[in-house]
Amino acid sequence: MSFVNLRQLAGELGLSSSTVSRAMRDSYEISTATRERVQTVARQLNYQPNPFAGSLRNNVTKTIAVILPQLDNHFFSLAINGIEEVAQQNGYHVLIYLTHDSGEQEKAVTKYLTSGRVDGILLALASGTRGVGHLEKLKLLGVPIVQFDRVSETLRTATVTTDDYASSYQATEHLIKAGCRTIAHLLVSESLSIGSKRLKGYQAALEAHRIPFDAGLVLNGRGSNDNNLRRITQLLEQRPEIDGIFAAVERLALSSYLACQRLGRAIPQDIKIVGFSNMETASLLAPSLTTITQPAYAIGKEAARILFQAIIKHKPVLPAHSLELKSELIARASTAGPLR
Amino acid sequence: MSFVNLRQLAGELGLSSSTVSRAMRDSYEISTATRERVQTVARQLNYQPNPFAGSLRNNVTKTIAVILPQLDNHFFSLAINGIEEVAQQNGYHVLIYLTHDSGEQEKAVTKYLTSGRVDGILLALASGTRGVGHLEKLKLLGVPIVQFDRVSETLRTATVTTDDYASSYQATEHLIKAGCRTIAHLLVSESLSIGSKRLKGYQAALEAHRIPFDAGLVLNGRGSNDNNLRRITQLLEQRPEIDGIFAAVERLALSSYLACQRLGRAIPQDIKIVGFSNMETASLLAPSLTTITQPAYAIGKEAARILFQAIIKHKPVLPAHSLELKSELIARASTAGPLR
DNA sequence: CTGTTAGCGCATTCAT
DNA sequence: ATGAATGCGCTAACAG
């Protein structure tokens, strides 16, 4: 597909292909004169080395894979921005795979990758994943993996996460201090690390403030947004004493916001909401929504950075390289101008 | 990197590598017995063909590239969802590149791709792009390109877009019929196809309703969100007679929404806003915001589909294959419950 | 400093 | 129906 290959270029120059190869790679054993001549002609002929020949030869693909549940989520969009930037800096290419939170799809994707297609993997676990055998296999094959945000506890790799426990504790405490006594928790899949950690932070804050934990206030937000909206509305109707909501992910925060609007529950006078959200504008559009914002961009960057260090140094990514970044609780003083 | 290659597998089976190769590809000249034996053992040994050897041999990469301005935008996130789905269906891998709307970055990316790294390209043009020479070169090399959403008029390829002109006309007319007489237009880069088409739709609607066009009401929304917010606020202060806003992209719609809030302009009583937005929840969070929603997911799917047809049939992607999909104007009856 | 040669893993002739 | 030989484009070991 390239117009000209190494041999043709060498022919044009009256040199052997190995000399040209070396000249192109700035080898020390090539005279400056020939190197420059080679590179000039290469540019003229628009020579581009075939990346697959190189990969075949060197077992280096200059490519990483990013495996994600979805993209309809601000966290992941921002994370990819960070990943892609670091990848470009390192001269790497980024393959993207979406699992739609299905364990099966995740397995299928990892299977593609057992062929040595990539030098490393960045992974945010699907909520539908049960075992991690497919990932262990990849590790065994020597493919470095760095997990971010949604990580498996059993798979021993470096991880980049946020302070899920601490920020959830803080969020719940924020509600308690604002006077809430009956606080619902909208959960992501419990099998997900972020799910259980955020739940634990919520429970711990309740306990610290001597509020009994009530499992009936915990709603597992699976399924479509519409479905969640319905179920949240139901919960709020059944338990009218609820005066606070802590939502563990963006879409549940928004759904609960809508549910309150529809039920005519004034926010934040009548009921208060705190939710994880990385949508820059969400907290602005919904001024009464207090948000926990994760440094999504930084998480992507750091995860990629850790991965590249492992790739370049040919060292495994150890759990010890893990990082936990801080989220930010943004409590808006709902001071927006008149609306409606 | 794979544990076992074709030769080793052949050795294990007591066959030649060529037989095994044929058996794996279901060649007709292999007995059913051996074929099944081969495939069983291959599965047991977890044989995965080296994709680069295949690419080198066949000039087929099973990979496409998606080049985008950003990802901090709902349209592109959704589009990728569609693209990735179609790619998976066709057994293809997806490389992603972000240009951050810089023409230079776009050039750099296309340069990578002149090496035959991909079988085809899906492109949403950077607003910073001036010439399309870099893309012409790719076309010349025989790499099929399908443009979507932000397309160049000069580069002759298939495009997948929405009815930018018609929906902008409709949006503007919606405002006029709602009683607006002084309608501001918040524009994306004029050099972008979507920019000029949406502007023209706006102008045509004004003209049809005998409202003179006033260039002072057109604001070119470049730069950061904060910067845009400031400039929009300024415009609204300088021209208090403005009673309608038509925003050509999501982030400008949100910024204008915020600007109105801050200035204490009641929406929609005092001032009405219509904006392009693909954020499912935006129009819900901001019930008084009327939105034009593009079928982003479908656009991604269609663009990918057109590309794969070209790739599979080894035919060029002609402009004749272009598609224009319909957007949807969602005028919310602002019936949300009490808020604040 | 430069050329010759071999081999990465696979698919595909061409033989048998 | 199967095997032997060749080459895709490149790099590196081994000469000189």
The least confident of A190-194, A202-206, B229-233, B303-307 is A190-194
Measure CB to CB from residue A281 to each of B59, B115, B254 and give the nearest one: B254
CATH class of A58-162+296-325: alpha beta
Alpha-carbon distance values, B226 to B71, B135, B162, B309 (Å) = 18, 33, 28, 43
Measure CB to CB from residue B71 to each of A81, A141, A263 and give the nearest one: A81
Measure CB to CB from residue A56 to each of B2, B56, B81 and give the nearest one: B56
User: Angle, nearest 10°, between helix axes A17-24 and A6-13?
Assistant: 100
Measure B16 CA to C15 C1' (Å): 15
- The alpha carbon of residue A159 and the mean position of all alpha carbons in its chain are separated, in whole angstroms, by 11
Q: Which residue has the higher pLDDT, B149 or B283?
A: B149
Average pLDDT for consecutive 10-residue bins of chain A (340 residues)?
83 92 90 91 93 95 96 90 97 97 95 94 94 93 95 94 97 95 92 92 97 96 86 96 94 89 89 89 73 95 97 91 94 45
pLDDT tens for each residue of A109-150: 999 999 999 999 999 999 899 999 999 999 999 999 999 999
CB B17 under 7 Å to nucleic chain D: yes
Q: Which residues of B touch A93 (CB under 8 A)?
A: 95, 112, 117
CB B81 under 7 Å to nucleic chain D: no
CB atoms within 10 A of CB B93: 25
pLDDT tens for each residue of B115-130: 999 999 999 999 889 9
- At B188 the pLDDT is 85
Q: Near strand C (CB < 7 A), which residues?
A: A 14-19, 22, 29-34, 53, 56-57; B 2, 5-7, 17-18, 21-22, 24-25, 49-50, 53-54, 56-58
**Nucleotides of strand C under 7 angstroms from a protein beta carbon:** 1-5, 7-13
Interface check for A234 against chain B (CB to CB < 8 A): the answer is no
CB A234 under 7 Å to nucleic chain D: no
- At B297 the pLDDT is 96
CA distance B79 to chain A (A): 10
- Asked whether the beta carbons of B256 and B275 are under 8 A apart, the reply is yes
User: For chain A, how many residues are written?
Assistant: 340
Average pLDDT over residues B247-264: 89
Interface of A with B in 5-64 (CB under 8 A): 46, 48-53, 55-56, 59, 61, 63
CA distance A207 to chain B (A): 30
Give me the phi and psi of A18, to 5 degrees please. Answer: -70, -40
Provide CB contacts within 8 A for A340, sequence distance 6+. Answer: B266, B267, B269, B287, B288, B334, B336, B339
Interface of A with B in 290-329 (CB under 8 A): none
CB A21 under 7 Å to nucleic chain D: yes
Residue B20 scores a pLDDT above 70 = yes
Tokens (6 digits) for A140: 């065994």
Angle, vertex CA B308, rays to CA B304 and CA B314, nearest 5: 150
Interface check for B4 against chain A (CB to CB < 8 A): the answer is no
- The alpha carbon of residue B138 and the mean position of all alpha carbons in its chain are separated, in whole angstroms, by 19
Provide CB contacts within 8 A for B33, sequence distance 6+. Answer: none
Q: Indicate the burial class of A212 (C-beta count within 10 angstroms; 0-12, 13-18, 19 or more).
A: exposed
Q: How far apart are CA A271 and CA A261, in angstroms?
A: 10
What is B164-294+328-335's CATH number? 3.40.50.2300
- Asked whether the beta carbons of A264 and B338 are under 8 A apart, the reply is yes
Q: Which residues of A touch B46 (CB under 8 A)?
A: 114, 137
Angle, vertex CA A172, rays to CA A170 and CA A176, nearest 5: 110
Interface check for B95 against chain A (CB to CB < 8 A): the answer is yes
Q: Running DSSP on this structure, what letter comes out for residue A124?
A: -
Interface check for A282 against chain B (CB to CB < 8 A): the answer is yes
- Identify how many contiguous H helices and E strands chain A contains and give both numbers: 13, 12
The domain spans of chain B are 6-49, 58-162+296-325, 164-294+328-335
Residues 35-54 of A with CB under 7 A from strand D: 49-50, 53-54
3-state class (DSSP) for residue A244: strand
Measure CB to CB from residue A51 to each of B59, B72, B115 and give the nearest one: B115
Radius of gyration of chain A (CA): 26
CA distance A159 to chain B (A): 23
Task: List B67's β-bridge partners, or say none.
Answer: B97, B123
Give me the phi and psi of B68, to 5 degrees please. Answer: -130, 155
- At B280 the pLDDT is 73
CA distance A31 to chain B (A): 27
CA distance B14 to chain A (A): 23
Residue B335 scores a pLDDT above 60 = no
**Average model confidence (pLDDT) across chain B:** 91
- Asked whether the beta carbons of B186 and B219 are under 8 A apart, the reply is yes
Task: List B274's β-bridge partners, or say none.
Answer: B246, B290
Omega into B144 within 30° of 0, i.e. cis? no
Q: Where are the alpha helices (DSSP H) in A155-249?
A: 164-177, 193-208, 225-238
Measure A9 CA to D9 C1' (Å): 12
Q: Which residues of B touch A257 (CB under 8 A)?
A: 285
Q: Which residues of A touch B339 (CB under 8 A)?
A: 261, 266-267, 288, 339-340
- At A305 the pLDDT is 97
Sheet strand arrangement including A218-220? A218-220, A183-187, A244-247, A272-276, A289-293, A328-330
Residue B2 scores a pLDDT above 70 = no
Q: How far apart are CA A327 and CA A164, in angstroms?
A: 8
- Asked whether the beta carbons of A202 and A299 are under 8 A apart, the reply is no
Measure CB to CB from residue B264 to each of A2, A78, A338 and give the nearest one: A338
Q: How far apart are CA A155 and CA A146, in angstroms?
A: 10
The least confident of A203-207, B24-28, B181-185, B200-204 is B24-28
User: For chain B, how many residues are written?
Assistant: 340
Residue among B81, B115, B229 with most chain A CBs within 10 A, to mutate = B115
